[in-house]
């Protein structure tokens, strides 16, 4: 799977999280030419923004809807190596799997399970996601996998802190959303 | 006893259905008891990179950015390597402390470790991805240099403990080792033992994918040299 496809899938996941939780969020258009790792400082800033917005909702006692929201979204876009059609001996000295795209441009091979990929281009920069305005809608989402702020034993809690009345965890897990790096620190 | 830190070869984020369901982060640790001739991550044992040591909390700090992706896609962390079970005490501490994240933890292992190391992680792992290498003892030894009995007994023990649904057996088609249908025969043998999930896939030359060390090349030649000689003989 190319980085650009990965990026598209992750953007869709972020948009879904925002939509289901009534968070103001506009998917930004990527202007970068060429392939990438599937994320960049701008995408990361958007992700952190969503974490913060969800944390705000939790602390206000609103519902958040995260767990299992995008199951299948990663699977539908992921490429799969057609193992059965590759002759391993022919492939062995021949440059690996999928090293050229249709236009003949060199492509990194698809990662295989457990394999450490060679490094791809890293996009550097400082970006902060700023929504048009603060969203203060109190509507609850209606997704099946929603759970209350406090989470129930039955549904589990999507809050990495385990969820408790004061918004802090009942266990030792450091606060995730609260500790997110400000985008300028990327 | 807890292991103080995990020596890391690489942490790779945003892998999609490559090492488990959903979006996963692969955590490759250093060290391996095997020397597979076509090892895909030889830097985990060839001493070309020192590895970075991370504590339980430092590792969490590195991976937590993808919390929302993990939760929304039923993804999480996949521990690979090298052989991650060499660091089972660390993995146990990590998963115990962070199990409340609700991320799924997967393990990719060849199971060539002591039983205790396996026992350490069983309660925490969602999916066990097992690199079987070969069902045949002789070929297993020739390909990995390791003891077949340790792998096989751990595999059967794991099946008893967690059941076949949580075990994915990776069955490689190994160039210059497998002839004819031997990989498929491997699969059939595992099936007879009650395993149900398989991934039959071809190994490729790791050098076609990234630079590998001289040491890794030497290790690879143990498999390739006789095969190449045989090919040359056939051609002449
Ligand atoms: S089990 Fe084999 S392939 Fe995996 S890291 Fe060890 S030597 Fe390499």
The pLDDT of B57-67, averaged and rounded, is 97
pLDDT tens-digit map of A48-98: 999 999 999 999 999 999 999 998 776 544 333 333 333 445 455 554 333
Spatial contact of A23 and A140, defined as CB atoms under 8 Å apart: no
The pairs formed by A156-161 with CB atoms below 8 angstroms and a separation of 24 or more are A156/A67, A156/B102, A157/B100, A157/B102, A158/A64, A158/A66, A158/A67, A158/B71, A158/B102, A159/A58, A159/A64, A160/B64, A160/B67, A160/B100, A160/B101, A160/B102, A161/B100
3-state helix, strand, coil in chain A (%, to 5): 30, 5, 70
Does the beta carbon of B159 sit less than 6 angstroms from any atom of ligand 1? no
Read off the pLDDT band of A127 (50, 70, 90): low
Residue B97 has, within 13 A of its CA and on its CB side, a CA count of 17
Residue A13: domain span: 3-75+115-155
Interval B101-122 mean pLDDT:
97
Does A36 map to a domain? yes
Specify the DSSP element, H or E, that contains B199.
strand B198-202
| Ligand 1 atom at minimal distance to the Cα of residue B112 | 1
* Residues B210, A171: C-beta atoms closer than 8 Å: no
Mean pLDDT value of segment B71-100 = 96
Q: What is the per-residue pLDDT for A176?
A: 30
Whether cis (ω within 30° of 0) applies to the bond prior to B82 is yes
Question: What's the rounded Cα separation, in Å, for the pair A62 and A59?
Answer: 7
Asked, for residue A88, whether it belongs to a domain, the answer is: no
CB of B32 shorter than 6 A to ligand 1: yes
For residue B46, what are the domain limits? Answer: 6-235
pTM equals 0.79
Classify residue A39: in a domain, yes or no: yes
Gap from B163 CA to chain A (nearest CA, Å)? 22
Is residue B36 within 8 Å of A115, Cβ to Cβ?
no
B195 part of a folded domain: yes
Residue B110 belongs to domain with CATH number:
3.20.20.70
B120 in a domain, yes or no? yes
Domain for residue A84, yes or no?
no
- Answer whether residue A186 is part of any domain: no
Do B69 and A13 make contact, defined as CB atoms within 8 angstroms? yes
Interface predicted TM-score (ipTM) over 0.85: yes
Return the structure tokens found at A157.
């809690």
pLDDT at residue A131 in the model: 65
d(CA B177, CA B225): 12
Residues in chain B: 236
pLDDT at A78: 38
At B119, which helix (H) or strand (E)? Answer: helix B115-121
For chain B, the straight-line distance linking the first and the last C-alpha, in angstroms and rounded, comes to 59
Residue A104 lies in a domain: no
- B14 CA distance to ligand 1 centroid (A)? 22
Q: Which single residue is written with the structure tokens 């630079």?
A: B211
Burial of residue A147, with CB atoms counted within 10 A of its CB: 0-12 exposed, 13-18 middle, 19 or more buried:
buried
**Residue A76, exposed/middle/buried by CB under 10 A (0-12, 13-18, 19+)?**
exposed
H and E: helices and strands count for chain A: 4, 0
Residue B1: inside a domain: no
Q: Is residue A94 part of a domain?
A: no
| pLDDT range class, residue A28, cuts 50, 70, 90 | confident
Give the total number of structural domains in chain B.
1
Instruction: Choose among A81, A87, A93: nearest Cβ to B205.
Output: A93
Using CB atoms within 10 A of its CB, is residue B190 exposed (0-12), middle (13-18) or buried (19+)? buried
Domain assignment present for residue B228? The answer is: yes
What φ, ψ does residue A125 adopt, rounded to 5°? 150, 170
> Quick one: which of B216, B44, B32, B34 has its CA closest to B142?
B34
Question: What domain count does chain A have?
Answer: 1
Among A58, A77, A88, A156, which would you mutate to test the B interface (most chain B Cβ atoms within 10 Å of its Cβ)? Answer: A88
pLDDT of residue A34: 73
């Amino acid at each position: 799977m190319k980085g650009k496809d990965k990026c598209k899938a992750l953007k869709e996941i972020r948009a879904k999280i925002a939509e289901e939780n009534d968070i103001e969020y506009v998917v930004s258009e990527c202007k970068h030419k060429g392939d990438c790792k599937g994320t960049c400082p701008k995408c990361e800033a958007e992700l952190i923004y969503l974490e913060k917005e969800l944390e705000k909702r939790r602390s206000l006692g609103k519902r958040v809807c995260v767990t299992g929201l995008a199951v299948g979204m990663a699977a539908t876009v992921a490429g799969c190596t057609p193992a059965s059609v590759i002759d391993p001996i022919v492939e062995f000295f021949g440059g690996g799997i999928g090293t050229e795209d249709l236009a003949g441009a060199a492509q990194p091979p698809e990662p295989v399970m457990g394999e450490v990929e060679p490094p791809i281009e890293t996009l550097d920069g400082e970006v902060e996601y700023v929504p048009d305005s603060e969203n203060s809608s109190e509507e609850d989402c209606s997704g099946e996998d929603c759970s209350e702020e406090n989470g129930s034993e039955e549904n589990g809690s999507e809050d990495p802190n385990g969820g408790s009345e004061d918004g802090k965890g009942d266990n030792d897990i450091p606060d995730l959303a609260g500790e997110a790096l400000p985008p300028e620190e990327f | 006893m807890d292991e103080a830190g995990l020596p890391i070869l690489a942490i790779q984020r945003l892998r999609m259905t490559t090492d488990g369901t959903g979006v996963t982060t692969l955590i490759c640790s250093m060290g391996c008891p095997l020397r597979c001739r076509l090892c895909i991550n030889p830097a985990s044992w060839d001493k070309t990179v020192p590895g970075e040591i991370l504590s339980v909390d430092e590792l969490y700090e590195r991976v937590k950015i993808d919390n929302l992706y993990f939760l929304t896609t039923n993804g999480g962390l996949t521990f690979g390597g090298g052989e991650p079970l060499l660091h089972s005490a660390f993995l146990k501490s990590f998963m115990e402390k962070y199990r409340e994240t609700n991320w799924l933890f997967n393990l990719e292992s060849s199971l060539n470790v002591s039983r205790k190391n396996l026992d350490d992680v069983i309660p925490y792992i969602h999916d066990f991805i097992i690199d079987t290498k070969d069902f045949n003892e002789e070929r297993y030894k020739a390909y990995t240099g390791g003891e077949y009995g340790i792998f096989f007994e751990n595999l059967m023990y794991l099946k008893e403990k967690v059941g076949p649904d949580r075990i994915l057996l990776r069955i490689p088609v190994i160039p210059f080792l497998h002839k004819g249908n031997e990989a498929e025969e491997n699969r059939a043998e595992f099936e007879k033992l009650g395993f149900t999930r398989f991934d039959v896939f071809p190994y490729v030359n790791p050098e076609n994918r990234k630079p590998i060390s001289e040491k890794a090349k030497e290790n690879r030649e143990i498999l390739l040299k006789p095969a190449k000689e045989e090919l040359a003989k056939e051609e002449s």
